[in-house]
């Protein structure tokens, strides 16, 4: 891959590289290819990501799920510029984050990504009002029109009548929505949310997801949610599962979000829970990640040999024991 040593700021102040110098799909806001992250200490090495492949399109609202230690938060931190890849390819908004210089990385973090954390205290200053909290990053960046943008963002997240309240006067869910507005203050291309509903109840979580969905729809920002909760699927269009540092499967919405909302209106609020279907992923090297439950059902353990045959337009997989019994 060729990459110029210098990046440039476009007319919107967003750090970019010359697209002609990069070999990747320009419709992807994020391209991960054989991505590796190794954490080293004096005595040990921990492989957090081991050859992860993932493409995310501009304007998607998607989730990354996985158990603790699966590598999902590591991936989020690298996309956000808080950590560096060890090997492989990580292209975000046209920027190669494996090779980016430290000075350019600072600009990237300010202009390209916004973060929302489970602990919203990382985003909020308690003695300021909601509006002042949202204005602050724009004041620091010396942007004009910050008062109007702060008001517009708080309206988008449903807090237009609470913008002058101090944080102690807001509920936990309202504070989280203020944090979301802060993350959007400098017009990022990507909004990264790390367990944004992990500390709230179901009703409040629904309000937070509604705010994220509205921002996604109204501003076109790409929203990436990292969580261990598979129930998040009903609030996004695509869910990518990570296991052992690699993408293992995807859950893709069968119908568009707007189509589902229209159907729910006609059904008087009766929701069809079967909204997504699971897709098993074939990586760039032709390798297939088979769900553990499927292997158990046919009596196969990891590192076992299995039979695979082509039958018409289907690929059939079965254990050696099953073949011997036939």
Using one digit for the tens of pLDDT, what is the confidence trace for 197-239?
887 888 999 999 999 999 999 999 999 999 888 778 788 989 9
Asked whether residue 255 is domain-assigned, the answer is: no
Asked whether residue 299 is domain-assigned, the answer is: yes
CA-to-CA separations, 262 to 130, 255, 268, 271, in angstroms, rounded: 33, 11, 10, 11
Asked whether residue 78 is domain-assigned, the answer is: no
Asked whether residue 321 is domain-assigned, the answer is: yes
Helices (H), 37-191: 72-79, 102-111, 130-140, 146-156, 172-183
Taking each helix axis from N to C terminus, what angle separates 172-183 and 146-156, rounded to the nearest 10 degrees? 130
Taking each helix axis from N to C terminus, what angle separates 130-140 and 146-156, rounded to the nearest 10 degrees? 130
Asked whether residue 312 is domain-assigned, the answer is: yes
Alpha-carbon distance of 226 to 196, in angstroms, equals 8
Q: What token pair was written down for 223?
A: 């929203």
Asked whether residue 300 is domain-assigned, the answer is: yes
pLDDT tens sequence across 93-145: 989 999 998 889 988 998 899 999 888 777 799 999 999 999 999 999 899 99
> In which domain, by residue range, is 298 found?
294-326
pLDDT bracket for residue 13 (50, 70, 90): very low
Asked whether residue 236 is domain-assigned, the answer is: no
| Lowest mean pLDDT segment, chosen from 12-16, 33-37, 95-99 | 12-16
Could you tell me where the beta strands, DSSP code E, fall in 130-264?
190-194, 222-227, 238-243, 246-253
The three-class DSSP label of residue 159 is coil
Asked whether residue 58 is domain-assigned, the answer is: no
User: Structural domain tally of the chain?
Assistant: 1
């Amino acid at each position: 891959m060729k990459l110029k040593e210098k990046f440039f700021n476009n007319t919107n102040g967003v750090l970019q590289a010359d697209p002609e110098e990069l070999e990747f799909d320009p419709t992807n806001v994020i391209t991960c290819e054989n991505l590796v992250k190794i954490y080293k200490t004096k005595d040990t090495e921990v492989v957090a990501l081991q050859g992860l492949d993932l493409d995310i399109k501009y304007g998607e609202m998607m989730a990354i799920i996985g158990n603790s230690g699966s590598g999902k938060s590591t991936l989020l931190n690298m996309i956000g510029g808080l950590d560096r890849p060890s090997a492989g390819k990580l292209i975000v908004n046209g920027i190669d984050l494996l090779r980016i210089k430290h000075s350019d990385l600072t600009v990237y973090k300010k202009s390209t990504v916004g973060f929302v954390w489970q602990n919203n205290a990382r985003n909020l200053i308690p003695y300021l009002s909601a509006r002042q909290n949202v204005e602050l990053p724009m004041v620091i960046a010396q942007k004009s029109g910050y008062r109007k943008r702060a008001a517009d963002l708080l309206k988008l997240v449903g807090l237009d009548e609470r913008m002058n309240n101090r944080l102690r006067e807001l509920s936990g869910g309202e504070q989280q929505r203020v944090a979301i507005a802060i993350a959007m203050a400098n017009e990022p291309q990507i909004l990264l949310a790390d367990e944004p509903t992990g500390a709230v109840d179901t009703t409040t979580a629904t309000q937070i997801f509604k705010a994220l969905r509205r921002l996604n729809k109204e501003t076109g920002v790409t929203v990436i949610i990292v969580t261990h909760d598979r129930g998040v699927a009903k609030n996004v269009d695509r869910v990518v599962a990570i296991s052992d540092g690699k993408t293992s499967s995807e859950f893709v919405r069968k119908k568009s979000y707007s189509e589902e909302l229209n159907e729910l209106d006609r059904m008087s609020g009766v929701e069809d829970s079967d909204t997504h279907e699971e897709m098993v992923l074939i990586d760039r090297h032709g390798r297939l990640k088979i769900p553990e439950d499927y292997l158990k059902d046919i009596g196969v353990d990891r590192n076992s040999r299995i039979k695979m045959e082509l039958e018409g337009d289907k690929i059939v997989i079965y254990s050696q024991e099953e073949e011997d019994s036939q």
